[in-house]
Structure 1
Amino acid sequence: MQNEVLDMAKQSTPPVAVTTLSLMGIQLSDWVYIFTLIYLFLQIIHLGRKLFRK
């Protein structure tokens, strides 16, 4: 039963996220830019830490 609930929650996450972001007044394309910048920033930090540890 619990696994079914988790599966349903996972499936509904993307549509809920898109609806929530649209209701906040920010277009989906703008959110793609924002999340891409965040992802790139996190990748730069991860790579920097990895290189400096060696």
Structure 2
Amino acid sequence: MVKKLRCDVSFADSLLFLLGWTVLVVITFGLASPFFLFSLIKFMINRTVIEE
């Protein structure tokens, strides 16, 4: 059995994610920027499914 990973991310989801983080970084004067990478990884993992 071969299992494949498929990421169900639409363009609108990723655009809203990036716009939200951009606003957050601007509002906090860059203090939120170190947490962006962790949030991006979590965003991608939460939308990944395993197919058989």
Q: TM (normalized to structure 2)?
A: 0.42
Q: Which has the larger radius of gyration?
A: 1
More helix, by proportion: 1
Q: Name the structure, 1 or 2, with higher relative contact order (CA <8 Å, separation 6+).
A: 2
